[in-house]
Amino acid sequence: MAATIIQSSDIPFKTVPIDPVTLDVIENALRNARVEMDTTLVRTAMSPGIREQGDAFPLIADHKGRMIVGQFGSYIGPFLDGYDGIVEDGDMIFLSDPYSVGGAISHLNDWLVLLPVYKDGRLIAYTSMFGHQSDIGGMVAGSMPIDATSIFQEGVRIPPVKIWKKGVYNEDLVKLVMHQTRTPEWCTADLNALIASCRVAARRVIEMCERFGDDVFVSATDELLRRNHRAMAALIESSIGEAPVSFEDFICDDGNGFGPYKLRCTMWKENGRVVLDFEGTDPQSARSVNFLLNANMMRMFFGIYMIMVFDPQILFNDGYYDLIDIRIPDGSLLKPNFPAALSGRTHALGRIFDVLGGLLGQKTPQFLNAAGFSSSPHLFYSGTGRDGRWFQLFQIGFGGIPGRPMGDGPDGHSLWPNFTNVPNEFLERYFPLLIERYETVADSGGAGLHRGGNGINMVYQFLEPGVIAIHDDRWFTRPWGVNGGEPGGRARKILERADGTRIVVGNKREDIAVAAGDKLHFITWGGGGWGDPLTRDPALVAEEVAQGLVTAAGALKYGVVLAEGEVDSSATETLREKTRAERPDSGLFNRGGTIEDLRETCLAETGLPAPKQPVWARG
């Protein structure tokens, strides 16, 4: 079964030589077209997740479906291989079902459109964009139910269908889809924004072909792919060893009291190719924390990490994919069997980056980052206001960025490229709430020569009765430190009722009723530290104490003693010598203890009991 590509011209493209200047011009024109896709999207979308935060991902691919510019890697080839339909000029494909594209989109909230670009009867490129929709129906507002045991409970499933067919818009299809959502105005605008961004990029591709010629454009994209292949082959040869290296990390829980869930990967080089084998990853969960990891997406994750560490000037594209062998066990947390629930996949998605960092840094610790991607904290708040109108907020928060070889991790920031926070003024203008506090959490970043970024304490005061839901992680396990750095602090969530009562709530909770005047303290994790904290400049530590980023007690982790805000040099040197003599060697990675150690400290540090092991618990 494979797609049938209809073309009115069967003239093949010719391979022609490309001079470096022309190649550079086309490469940058494609980069700019990708930026224009993003700009078009955020200026025409309505939901805060896309409009304000940029939770959408563009792609421009060649006529074979190989990504030339983009972010998540191309899903077009695997999609075409499994699509039992016709693709022709004037079509646009629309879908949201992860199982229909092998996990290229990873939950139903991500709506994807795919536009085949034709010129003079020949398919010359593809443009595509997918973005997170605030609501697509299902059990709960926001359509990401923690308690889901099947994807059928998570909202409308859209298989690959034609939203445009030979230039004709399928209005009835759109009406049917929008009938399932609690936020049809937002979803309609967001879908139109996805479509518009793809059409903008298609126009830019056509303009490039008209300027340089079709054969020159196609030959240039081929060369960009080959260049990427050569660059990645060299990076693999110099940076990846033949001896297997393993690393594991954990998702804290599934929201129903069970966890942690292990993600394990082993990496080695074999005949010039990298093998990433996820054998040892835990079986799929009965709940929604599963992540259907697409092989091309994992290849892109690997490539992005390699490129950003070793050669940031390389253009991301699909050219090196044949150099990466991805092996994921069936029925595991990263390759669950249909119809496993997927809506809470964000935690495993984030943790993959921490696992990659732990793998790739073992051979070259000087390039190793600490942990800190870790998750993507979500808050949902919905209800009916006093004006009788439905309101619904979906917001992504941020934790601390890990300490890095080149310096400290930023406080309360996103590791996703181009992601931004929703401005507090926007939230207060469009939703019945006040942002009482928005501040970093002192000492939550792991101590180190380079400090991990602090987490955030965002205090929401709700002005209308409603229901909230919380999706977060790193409340049980801690973002690990490296090269002597300490782990980051744990996430916490505290609900403060209007009468002053304070309740510690879980980091994965659904259907929490709130009243007017209630407050939620949404506290995220801190990034892990990098390097020995006893080597950090004492004057810098004192400055951060004055700024409120580190407390006076926290300064002692760096062996820094303060007297009236100033460094006591003699006492500092004495403390550092004593600490060096007494402390144990933490090794390359410092997780804050074993899983059993974390269980013992969990209740005291978070106010919550440790999760229980799943029924298939490891021995």
Q: How many residues does the chain have?
A: 619
In degrees and rounded to multiples of 5, residue 383 shows phi and psi of: 165, -175
Mean pLDDT across 352-374: 87
Both 79 and 89 in one domain: the answer is yes
Residue 619 in any domain: the answer is no
Both 206 and 148 in one domain: the answer is yes
> Given a cut of 60, is residue 617 above it in pLDDT?
no
Both 346 and 466 in one domain: the answer is yes
Q: What angle, rounded to 10 degrees, do the helices at 295-310 and 214-239 form?
A: 70
Residue 318 in any domain: the answer is no
Residue 419 in any domain: the answer is yes
> Given a cut of 80, is residue 322 above it in pLDDT?
yes
Both 561 and 515 in one domain: the answer is no
The beta-carbon contacts of 599-602 under 8 Å, at least 24 apart in sequence, are 602/476
Both 55 and 14 in one domain: the answer is yes
Both 464 and 555 in one domain: the answer is no
Nearest to 355 by CA among 423, 302, 394, 279: 302
Please tell me the predicted confidence (pLDDT) of residue 613: 87
**Per-residue pLDDT reduced to its tens digit, 451-495:** 999 999 999 999 999 999 999 999 999 999 999 999 999 999 999
Domain count, the chain: 3
> Given a cut of 70, is residue 432 above it in pLDDT?
yes
Both 109 and 123 in one domain: the answer is yes
* SS3 category, 247: strand
Both 592 and 476 in one domain: the answer is yes
Q: Which of 185, 210, 231 is the last residue of a domain?
A: 231
Residue 305 in any domain: the answer is no
Residue 332 in any domain: the answer is yes
Both 8 and 137 in one domain: the answer is yes
Question: With contact defined as beta carbons under 8 Å apart, do 366 and 405 qualify?
Answer: yes
Please tell me the predicted confidence (pLDDT) of residue 616: 61
Please tell me the predicted confidence (pLDDT) of residue 619: 45
> Given a cut of 70, is residue 309 above it in pLDDT?
no
Question: With contact defined as beta carbons under 8 Å apart, do 498 and 488 qualify?
Answer: no
pLDDT band for 121, please (50, 70, 90 cuts): very high
Mean pLDDT across 230-253: 91
Count Cβ atoms below 10 Å from residue 271 Cβ, excluding itself.
Answer: 7
Question: With contact defined as beta carbons under 8 Å apart, do 69 and 317 qualify?
Answer: yes
Residue 590 in any domain: the answer is yes
Enter the tokens of residue 589: 């990675």
Question: With contact defined as beta carbons under 8 Å apart, do 140 and 70 qualify?
Answer: no
Both 207 and 349 in one domain: the answer is no
Q: Which of 231, 251, 280 is the last residue of a domain?
A: 231
Count Cβ atoms below 10 Å from residue 190 Cβ, excluding itself.
Answer: 25
Both 197 and 271 in one domain: the answer is no
> Given a cut of 60, is residue 520 above it in pLDDT?
yes
Residue 315 in any domain: the answer is no
Q: Considering the entire predicted model, what is its pTM?
A: 0.93
What span, in angstroms and rounded, lies between the C-alpha atoms of 90 and 95? 17
Please tell me the predicted confidence (pLDDT) of residue 310: 65
Residue 195 in any domain: the answer is yes
Both 374 and 516 in one domain: the answer is yes
Buried b (16+ CB within 10 A) or exposed e, 562-574: beeeebbeeebee
> Given a cut of 70, is residue 312 above it in pLDDT?
no
Domain containing residue 575: 535-583
**Per-residue pLDDT reduced to its tens digit, 74-118:** 788 878 887 889 999 999 999 999 998 888 788 999 999 999 999
